[in-house]
Chain A
Amino acid sequence: MTGRSVTVLRTGPQALVQDLGRPGYAHLGVPPSGALDAPSLRLANRLAGNPEDAACLEVLLGGLALRAGCSCTAAVAGPATPLLVNGVARDSPTHLAPGDELVLGTPVAGLRAYLALSGGVALPAELGSRATDLLSGLGPAPLAAGDVLPLGVPTGVPTGADVLPPVRVPDELVLPVVTGPRDDWFDDAVAQLRAGRWEVSERSNRVGVRLRGTALLRTAARQGCELPSEGLVTGAVQVPAAGRPVVFLADHPTTGGYPVVGVVPPDALPALGQARPGTRVRFRPHG
């Protein structure tokens, strides 16, 4: 066998190719996409000896099995996730010999583990990225059993790590939110955001985290008003007509027609990408 590759034997609920996404094309209607927990993707890459932006696998709730077609290093980051090679538990990073079978178990908490393979996943890039965008269909299709994933040529040396602290996933998230651009559509947006209580809905995905709970009320003047579509940033807290907020994640639409009451800053978003349905959510607004 000439090329470096791994073969997918089975996937759990969802396994996707992700990197740091394709920012810079929103004016063409292209979402940024990329890993929801980008710090974990960067860490997995560093452990495997890859550049931080190499393409990895974003594995939702475990269940992924791969067979190595070549000698390579595998590294897992994110929440604490069992890693087995040929049925035996291993620490990360670990070496795979040709024919070895790697299995990622279900994380004890959280949602998404990041598996880096030395050389990175070398599928063709679209608009500079190999990220799978579930909203617009750009990038590779979600992984399926039988897929053969080409790997690039390793460029660095894997980092030897003795102890790797997993991502902590709390039962309750307190999200900072900077109010605006449309906080004036709501009666005292800061007070409503501070007082509300929510839970992550099971209808959440890579497009956004939908929240169940307190409805945010518009001002009397804005009842029934329509907003012409306007650009959206990642982290935007959009409030549809029914009042239950959606926090947009990497595969969000580039424009939207409901008011955005505030924006969750980038460094608070990885935790949302790890929040299981039922996780309690509060906002800490900055007016």
Chain B
Amino acid sequence: MRLRRCGTDAVLVEVDSPDEVEAVRAAVRAAALPEVVELVPAARTVLITTRPGGLPAVRRVLAAVDPTHRPPAPSRTAEVPVVYDGPDLALVAETAGISPAEVVRLHTGATYSVAFCGFAPGFAYLTGLPGPLRQPRLESPRTSVPAGSVGVAGEYTAAYPRSTPGGWRLIGRTDAPLFDPRRDVPALLAPGDRVRFRAVP
């Protein structure tokens, strides 16, 4: 675990794996420091932003964190219903050397974790994707991916909360309310949550 300076009121914690990212995020979250303004996990880092003068308290918490210690499983598991009729379902099946039905079986059979959010409000990068579904992005991204699209890219799977450009391979769509800024809990999926996909007609 390495601490990197990030301006006057933030520190970037760098670790070696998504599991360590989650361990650091969960430990800082559990400390519930009033000084912390933002706690932002990403692929291999956790960014912690504080009110002015809040960094010493954060450093004290970090000094006691064991990033190899797996935090207790979260209580929140979200289930996302998906119609598996995406425009790239056949491509994903062909690339994996399996049938489209097998792609659906693999994608619905796994339990995922929200590693981090980014790109757009409520866009959650989910880890736990079965090996055959870990595939490259499209060679040329779509200028517009419809809201609710479910796709895969590299080690991640995700659902698009709203229409944006995007290069993920799309295997289905969901009508789950992924992000609504007027709700008390605006995002359906937040870092640390568990997620399962369920096939619906």
List the interface of chain A (C-beta within 8 A of B).
Answer: 23-30, 124, 126-127, 136-138, 178-182, 228-233, 235-236, 253-255, 260, 262-266
Contacts and interface: CB of A to CB of B under 8 A. Distances in A.
A30 B40 CA distance: 11
Q: Size class of B's contact patch?
A: 35 or more
A233 B179 CA distance: 23
B5 A180 contact: yes
A260 B6 contact: yes
A28 B187 contact: yes
B187 A23 contact: no
B8 A255 contact: no
Given A126-B181, A254-B118, A255-B119, A27 B38 contact: yes
Contact of B191 (A27, A136, A266): A27
Contacts of A264: 7
B137 interface: no
A29 B121 contact: yes
B190 A30 contact: no
A40 to B, nearest CB: 20
Contacts of A25: 121, 186
Given A28-B122, A181-B12, A254 B4 contact: no
Contacts of A254: 40, 117-118
A229 B118 contact: yes
B9 A29 contact: no
B39 interface: yes
Contacts of A233: 6-7, 9-10, 47, 49
Contacts of B123: 29
B8 A178 contact: yes
- 8 closest Cβ pairs, A-B complex: A231-B47, A263-B7, A231-B40, A181-B4, A228-B43, A126-B181, A180-B5, A255-B118
Contact of A29 (B4, B46, B117): B117
B157 interface: no
26 contacts: A24-B38, A26-B49, A28-B179, A28-B187, A29-B120, A29-B187, A30-B186, A138-B181, A178-B5, A180-B5, A181-B4, A182-B4, A228-B42, A228-B43, A229-B118, A231-B12, A233-B7, A235-B7, A236-B6, A236-B7, A254-B117, A255-B42, A255-B116, A263-B7, A264-B7, A266-B9
B196 interface: no
Interface in B1-44: 4-10, 12, 37-44
B45 interface: yes
A130 to B, nearest CB: 11
B113 to A, nearest CB: 14
Interface string B132-166: 00000000000000000000000000000010000
B8 A229 contact: no
Contacts of B8: 178, 263, 265-266
Given A263-B7, A265-B7, A127 B191 contact: no
B60 interface: no
Given A26-B47, A28-B190, 9 more contacts: A26-B49, A27-B190, A30-B121, A181-B4, A228-B44, A229-B43, A231-B12, A254-B117, A255-B42
Nearest to A126: B181
Contacts of A260: 6
A124 B180 CA distance: 13
A23 B38 contact: yes
A231 B123 CA distance: 14
Nearest to A264: B7
A178 B6 CA distance: 8
A136 B42 contact: no
A263 B6 CA distance: 6
A180 B118 contact: no
A263 B123 CA distance: 26
Interface in B75-126: 116-123
* Most chain A Cβ neighbours within 10 Å, of B8, B44, B123, B179: B8
Given A230-B12, A231-B47, A27 B181 contact: no
A126 B10 contact: no
Contacts of A127: 181, 186
B193 to A, nearest CB: 11
Contacts of A23: 37-38
Nearest to B8: A265
A263 B12 CA distance: 12
* Most chain B Cβ neighbours within 10 Å, of A29, A126, A179, A228: A29
B16 to A, nearest CB: 11
Contacts of B119: 29, 253, 255
